[in-house]
Amino acid sequence: MKTNPQFHPDTFKFLKTLKSNNNKEWFDKNRPTYEKIKKDFYGFVDKLIIELRKFNPDIEPLEAKNCVFRINRDIRFSKDKSPYKHHLAAVISRGGKKSHFAGYYFHIEPNGNTYIGGGVWRPEKDVLDKVRQEIDYNQKSFEKIILNKSFKSVFGTMNEDKMSTAPKNYAKDDPAIEWLKYKSYVFGVDMKDADAMSKTALVQVVKTFKTLSPFIQFLNTAIGD
């Protein structure tokens, strides 16, 4: 795996300035810089897809365009009318970014907010039901993955997006009830700015995703076809 610098050197500077100048006029004026940054980000994601398929072969040979999110925000139902995100993000999963399958998520953002993680975030009811059912049937297998020492040393605990009571159709004393309360099944870890912009960024991200892989594959076994 090559370890050349992956991101355009102006990536963080651009995103920081965009955060304080979040308007179309500024963005249009600085679009040439954005296009260079975007090109390098797409290149990074393309390399990431190739590496991920080595240990997660059910991910078809996608391209970055199938995985990278637009920098434009959807402001239709938001009180915040800022038109742009101040990070670049992609999710690599079976079927691409619009898929219902669990996937590997990466975004680059200044000030220590670069993030490596994955899973399913607020999935549709039928997907959530399947994941909960699989955890209920195979609690020991699930715990063997997420309570593994190596896994915990990287990711710690799961994102705390959960219900306060037992979900419908599950008893309060179900042995797996604390796992079944989750509305999202996501693990992730932040990445330092220096690491994100280093020559070994791709290596570090791939290594983190490889640790996450058994969790992603457990979820996708539950989700099925």
- Give me the residue spans of the domains in the chain: 11-223
Q: What is the pTM of this model?
A: 0.94
pLDDT in tens, 56-103: 988 888 999 999 999 999 888 888 889 999 999 999 999 899 999 999
pLDDT at 2: 47
Summarize the confidence of residues 117-128 as an average pLDDT: 96
What is the percentage of the chain residues whose pLDDT exceeds 90? 88
Q: What are phi and psi of 182, to 5 degrees?
A: -65, 140
Alpha-carbon torsion angle 121, 125, 131, 133, nearest 10 = 150
Cα 72 versus chain centre, distance: 18
Beta-carbon contacts of 82 under 8 Å, excluding residues fewer than 6 positions away, are 22, 73, 75
Residue 166: pLDDT band with limits 50, 70, 90:
very high
Given CA atoms 146, 147, 152, 156 in this order, what sign does their dihedral have? positive
Cα 54 versus chain centre, distance: 18
